[in-house]
Chains A and B, each alone.
Chain A
Amino acid sequence: MTSVLASAKALQKEACATTERPVLRERGQREVFCGLTGIIWLHRKIQDAFFLVVGSRTCAHLIQSAAGVMIFAEPRFATAILDERDLAGLADANDELDRVVGRLLERRPDIRMLFLVGSCPSEVIKLDLSRAAERLSVQHAPNVRVLNYSGSGIETTFTQGEDACLASLVPELPTRDGGAPQLLVAGALADIVEDQFRRIFAELGMTDVAFLPPRKSRELPAVGPGTKVLLAQPFLTDTTARLQERGCEILAAPFPYGVDGTMAWLAKAADLWGVPRARFDEVVAPAATRARKALDAHKFRLAGKRVFFFPDSQLEIPLARFLSEELGMFPVEVGTPYLNRQQMSFDLDKLPAETLVSEGQDVERQLDRCREAKPDLIVCGLGLANPLEAEGFTTKWSIELLFTPVQGFEQAGDLAELFTRPLLRRTRLEV
């Protein structure tokens, strides 16, 4: 009997005839959060926005469980839980929603932007949240702008929630007519990372730089033809489509992880702005040197180690690129919930030919492959990590990669450290 791994490899060989890298597509049980999860970081990123999920008790429970209820301050999110009366049509769901939103905005007069976030139940009962958002926007103008997007599990996985949220923001962006090119960095970054990038761009002489999402909902960047978009996150498929509709140009670049990734990412924009290569090198050299040194401290622990990615956040491919190219690890399998070949092309091309790339999931079969491959490190979600540890594997839980500032030069060492720590820990423990 051929092993699962061998048959997956065979599939890959077969497809190798074509130029495109073969991808194992799976359709079975997925073990991935839904798009509602993005609210956990988005509600802190946009400081005057509130996220109201229109859903079930399950949706409320998901966010709270994924957040670990670790949020000390009163969160700027909540769930409007649908009950029997809403479903049976006893109460008009739209009236109910208006009432809930009214109560909410009364409690939080500091809110300037409200996102109505759709869920599986709201989609299945076809509650039209875009109409509700229009209606509520009129009701609460000019204080509060109401938008909507779907974070439902039947349509989005994990980080696609941020994509949907940012896509809903794009039509709101003011129009910018012509003029000198402007740089828009898309994808939520930790504030500290955003500030670092801002400083680098300024030193490069690029002053017209904006970030999406902005920290304040009233500081929406203007876009239009002449806007060049650099993607800070690898999961913005819908957002980029909407930006293109607005005439923006999406720059093809790798993602800003590690030294090489960050360097190429910055260079893409700098080249376009005509920054002389010497000047570029001069500006990035100190940070890049620091980062290289930081990575060296981890390289000897990681080089030659085999890593296996379960699909989670769509960060898998760029991270695998970072681990293999910059730290000498070997990615055995890189799973991603959804593969956007175009945006991923730079990172994808740098993966070793023997690496199996898989899209979608059948968690039981993937676990079989993983056990058979016996990787040194497994990157996976919270539901799988402890059971795999108990089987003797070393794991890195992937949600931390989204909750930690990891992009850019100054964070390259921290990013490597996230992968070193579990390995190091295992060598330390004697019990």
Chain B
Amino acid sequence: MQLTVWTYEGPPHIGAMRIANSMDGLHYVLHAPQGDTYADLLFTMIERNNVRPPVTYTTFQARDLGGDTAELFKSSARAAYERFKPEAMIVGASCTAELIQDDPGGLAKALALDCPVIPLELPAYQKKENWGAAETFYQLVRAYTGAQAPAPGATRPQRAAGERARCNVLGPTSLGFRNRDDVTEILRLLADLKIEVNVVAPQGSRPSDLARLPEADFNIVLYPEVAQNAANWLKRTFGQPFTKTIPIGVGATRAFVKEVCELAGIDSTAFLSRERSRLPWYSRSIDSTYLTGKRVFIFGDATHAIAAAKVATSELGFKVVGLGTYSREFARDVREAAKEYGLEALVTDDYLEVEQAVRELHPELVLGTQMERHIAKRLGVPCAVISAPIHVQDFPARYAPQMGFEGANVLFDTWVHPLMMGLEEHLLQMFRDDFEFHDGAGPSHLGGHGGARDASAEAPVAVMAPVATSEAIVLQAPVAAKPEGWAADAEKELGKIPFFVRGKARRNTERYAAERGITTITIETLYDAKAHYSR
């Protein structure tokens, strides 16, 4: 039993639903109680889809449990088939239905519907959303390509000379972070490289398109969380190699171009000889100097977290002070990446643990999911979102990819935007006592004060949900041995330090004093500690 306040991932059937909603002509019949229909709003409200997701729920009730829930499943599946006439169906159980063991796969088979039915086994008490998405996609790919598998040992026929290389693009899904724009960006890039695209899946394809997957020379895996299993199977079965580089950031995009060109047997030198992103120059521009060594905390799915750490460090000059993921399946990759920054990765799906880490590390910028946005908001730290789970405002109307050269431009803008500009920060430090400066003062280009600029978006619930006191924060304050106190003048001096680093200064000074047995903190102690900890 795990105590959970917020979850990073839904149950695995939500992953299956994301696959169903990504494709055309695929329908999902889910054995589930009525409350589980909440999932529709993820697609219609958060992603603003203009049609309902292709999902039929059996919505069994307590009174059905004694009777025949299996019959209910069958009639729902039959009715769904007749109404929607899908090209293929996936069937499965939600957490509750798993307990009543009706075997949706077997029941659906017995109906002998006039379309392929792919049964899903998604253990709801062990696995989570991304696993469910990956498994569903893999099962679909297997079902549609398995019959074409060449005899073991057979070699792939060579492409005819002069024929363009072809690839599949795997992984984009509904509810994925910026997947819509990433795909556009990557398809443009491939077009520039004169590489043909065979199938993009699951987003934008039909089940029958999956049967054409083996026709490509190689696969591009954009989101390993979803496509890794399928790509592995395609490699094993059809000898299709797949890409490992995730094209997020300028460096990674260039590496991706090289990797893709190698797989396609073309020369990338000419293409890469021109700078295609503004990020490098913007980062070198002297107004960006103040970004140097900004402390950044990063948390998200493995793919986006690892990529963000790389970009933050080598393309913006930040310092990564925390790196973590909720994707246990990819924990090893994140641990390895964290080592490069001299860190131990935080692998958890416990929101409270992440909050604690942010609080302790005092970052100047948080790059995370919508959960970290809330943590950052509460702690008054600037934040940008880099990974699912996401909310309605993370599906922007404008074109805003994360991948490719344009994606790198977007990263520069969105990560730098929440920060205070360099000179502004200096002025705030120099003239702390100016009567118009106050702790709430945030970056001048952002309306209101930095910490609570989303507050208006919260109005609907605020009516019923008054903003609480900082009780939780007080509760969690570390109980380390504390010096007796601050001399009045030292406390006043501390007040002159800008609020966004004041907490850190206070803690550092107290730690410094405690370690040295100093009981009363004076101005001297404050500056001694500052010198001691200065980076």
Interface residues of A (CB under 8 A from B): 28-37, 40-41, 44-45, 56-62, 64-75, 77-84, 86-87, 91, 93, 96-97, 99-100, 103-104, 107-110, 120-121, 123-125, 152-155, 157, 190, 364, 381-387, 389-390, 400, 403-405
Which residues of chain A have C-beta atoms less than 8 A from B123's C-beta? 84
Interface set, chain B 60-77, CB cutoff 8 A to A: 60-62, 65, 76
- Band of interface residues on B: 35 or more
Picked from B33, B39, B377, B465, the residue with its CB within 8 Å of the CB of A120 is B33
Which residues of chain B have C-beta atoms less than 8 A from A389's C-beta? 50
- Write the nearest CB–CB distance from A336 to chain B, whole angstroms: 14
Which residues of chain B have C-beta atoms less than 8 A from A99's C-beta? 1
**Bound state CA distance, A298 and B45, in angstroms?**
27
- B34, A71: Cβ atoms under 8 Å? no
Known: A69-B370, A384-B52, A400-B460. A57 touches B10 (CB 8 A): yes
Picked from A97, A107, A404, the residue with its CB within 8 Å of the CB of B1 is A97
**Bound state CA distance, A56 and B6, in angstroms?**
13
21 pairs, CB–CB < 8 Å, chain A vs chain B: A31-B40, A41-B464, A45-B464, A57-B128, A58-B13, A62-B38, A65-B38, A69-B391, A70-B458, A72-B455, A72-B467, A83-B2, A83-B125, A84-B126, A86-B1, A153-B96, A381-B41, A383-B40, A384-B40, A386-B45, A387-B52
Interface set, chain B 21-71, CB cutoff 8 A to A: 33-42, 44-46, 48-52, 56-62, 65
- Check: B3 CB closer than 8 A to any chain A CB: yes
- A68, B34: Cβ atoms under 8 Å? no
**Bound state CA distance, A31 and B53, in angstroms?**
13
- Check: B124 CB closer than 8 A to any chain A CB: yes
- Check: B432 CB closer than 8 A to any chain A CB: no
Known: A57-B10, A121-B95, A384-B52. A153 touches B33 (CB 8 A): yes
Picked from B10, B35, B62, B465, the residue with its CB within 8 Å of the CB of A71 is B465
- B3, A103: Cβ atoms under 8 Å? yes
Which residues of chain A have C-beta atoms less than 8 A from B461's C-beta? 40, 67-68, 70-71, 403
- A153, B7: Cβ atoms under 8 Å? no
- Check: B449 CB closer than 8 A to any chain A CB: no
Top 6 A-B residue pairs of the complex, sorted by shortest distance between their CB atoms: A34-B35, A153-B35, A383-B40, A73-B468, A390-B50, A153-B33
Which residues of chain B have C-beta atoms less than 8 A from A84's C-beta? 123, 125-126
Known: A72-B467, A74-B472. A30 touches B37 (CB 8 A): yes
- A57, B7: Cβ atoms under 8 Å? yes
Chain B, residue nearest A362 (CB) = B79
- Check: B530 CB closer than 8 A to any chain A CB: no
Known: A58-B95, A74-B472, A80-B2. A69 touches B374 (CB 8 A): yes
Chain B, residue nearest A154 (CB) = B62
- Check: B516 CB closer than 8 A to any chain A CB: no
- Write the nearest CB–CB distance from B325 to chain A, whole angstroms: 18
Chain B, residue nearest A101 (CB) = B3
Which residues of chain B have C-beta atoms less than 8 A from A44's C-beta? 464-466
- Check: B471 CB closer than 8 A to any chain A CB: yes
**Bound state CA distance, A290 and B201, in angstroms?**
59
Which residues of chain A have C-beta atoms less than 8 A from B462's C-beta? 72
Additional 12 contacts, C-beta under 8 A, given A33-B37, A79-B4, A154-B33 = A30-B37, A32-B37, A57-B9, A58-B96, A65-B42, A78-B5, A80-B2, A84-B125, A153-B35, A153-B59, A154-B65, A381-B41
- A57, B124: Cβ atoms under 8 Å? yes
A84, A99, A153 — most chain B CB neighbours (10 Å): A153
Which residues of chain B have C-beta atoms less than 8 A from A36's C-beta? 35
- Check: B147 CB closer than 8 A to any chain A CB: no
Known: A58-B94, A71-B461, A154-B33. A386 touches B60 (CB 8 A): no
- Write the nearest CB–CB distance from A55 to chain B, whole angstroms: 8
- Write the nearest CB–CB distance from A84 to chain B, whole angstroms: 5
Which residues of chain A have C-beta atoms less than 8 A from B363's C-beta? none
- Check: B100 CB closer than 8 A to any chain A CB: yes
- B1, A81: Cβ atoms under 8 Å? yes
- B463, A405: Cβ atoms under 8 Å? yes
- A386, B96: Cβ atoms under 8 Å? no
Which residues of chain A have C-beta atoms less than 8 A from B6's C-beta? 60, 64, 69
- A34, B125: Cβ atoms under 8 Å? no
- B460, A32: Cβ atoms under 8 Å? no
- Write the nearest CB–CB distance from B61 to chain A, whole angstroms: 5
- B1, A57: Cβ atoms under 8 Å? no
Which residues of chain A have C-beta atoms less than 8 A from B56's C-beta? 29
Known: A72-B374, A382-B44, A387-B52. A78 touches B3 (CB 8 A): yes
Picked from B40, B41, B465, the residue with its CB within 8 Å of the CB of A73 is B465
**Bound state CA distance, A80 and B44, in angstroms?**
28
Which residues of chain B have C-beta atoms less than 8 A from A190's C-beta? 463-464
B61, B83, B460 — most chain A CB neighbours (10 Å): B61
**Bound state CA distance, A86 and B126, in angstroms?**
11
- A100, B38: Cβ atoms under 8 Å? no
Chain B, residue nearest A151 (CB) = B35
Picked from A79, A390, A403, the residue with its CB within 8 Å of the CB of B51 is A390
Known: A56-B95, A78-B4. A384 touches B44 (CB 8 A): yes
**Bound state CA distance, A57 and B13, in angstroms?**
11
**Bound state CA distance, A29 and B7, in angstroms?**
27
- B3, A104: Cβ atoms under 8 Å? yes
- B125, A82: Cβ atoms under 8 Å? yes
Picked from A81, A381, A384, A403, the residue with its CB within 8 Å of the CB of B463 is A403
Which residues of chain B have C-beta atoms less than 8 A from A97's C-beta? 1
- Check: B338 CB closer than 8 A to any chain A CB: no
- B391, A58: Cβ atoms under 8 Å? no
Picked from B35, B57, B95, the residue with its CB within 8 Å of the CB of A57 is B95
**Bound state CA distance, A75 and B468, in angstroms?**
9
- A58, B124: Cβ atoms under 8 Å? yes
Known: A62-B35, A121-B95, A403-B460. A29 touches B59 (CB 8 A): yes
Which residues of chain B have C-beta atoms less than 8 A from A381's C-beta? 41
- Check: B11 CB closer than 8 A to any chain A CB: yes
Which residues of chain A have C-beta atoms less than 8 A from B41's C-beta? 65-66, 381-383
Picked from B10, B42, B59, B466, the residue with its CB within 8 Å of the CB of A30 is B59
Which residues of chain B have C-beta atoms less than 8 A from A45's C-beta? 464
Which residues of chain A have C-beta atoms less than 8 A from B48's C-beta? 386
- Write the nearest CB–CB distance from B465 to chain A, whole angstroms: 5
Which residues of chain A have C-beta atoms less than 8 A from B354's C-beta? none
Which residues of chain B have C-beta atoms less than 8 A from A383's C-beta? 37-38, 40-41, 44-45, 52
Which residues of chain B have C-beta atoms less than 8 A from A74's C-beta? 5, 468, 471-472
**Bound state CA distance, A58 and B129, in angstroms?**
10
**Bound state CA distance, A73 and B461, in angstroms?**
11
Chain B, residue nearest A93 (CB) = B1
- A32, B465: Cβ atoms under 8 Å? no
- Write the nearest CB–CB distance from A198 to chain B, whole angstroms: 18
- Write the nearest CB–CB distance from A397 to chain B, whole angstroms: 8
Which residues of chain A have C-beta atoms less than 8 A from B236's C-beta? none
- A83, B464: Cβ atoms under 8 Å? no
B39, B44, B391 — most chain A CB neighbours (10 Å): B44
Which residues of chain A have C-beta atoms less than 8 A from B2's C-beta? 80-81, 83
- B57, A61: Cβ atoms under 8 Å? no
Which residues of chain A have C-beta atoms less than 8 A from B124's C-beta? 56-58
- Check: B453 CB closer than 8 A to any chain A CB: no
Known: A67-B461, A83-B125. A124 touches B1 (CB 8 A): no
- B378, A72: Cβ atoms under 8 Å? yes
Which residues of chain A have C-beta atoms less than 8 A from B370's C-beta? 69
- Write the nearest CB–CB distance from A11 to chain B, whole angstroms: 20
Picked from B33, B58, B378, B458, the residue with its CB within 8 Å of the CB of A34 is B33
Known: A58-B94, A65-B41, A390-B51. A30 touches B34 (CB 8 A): yes
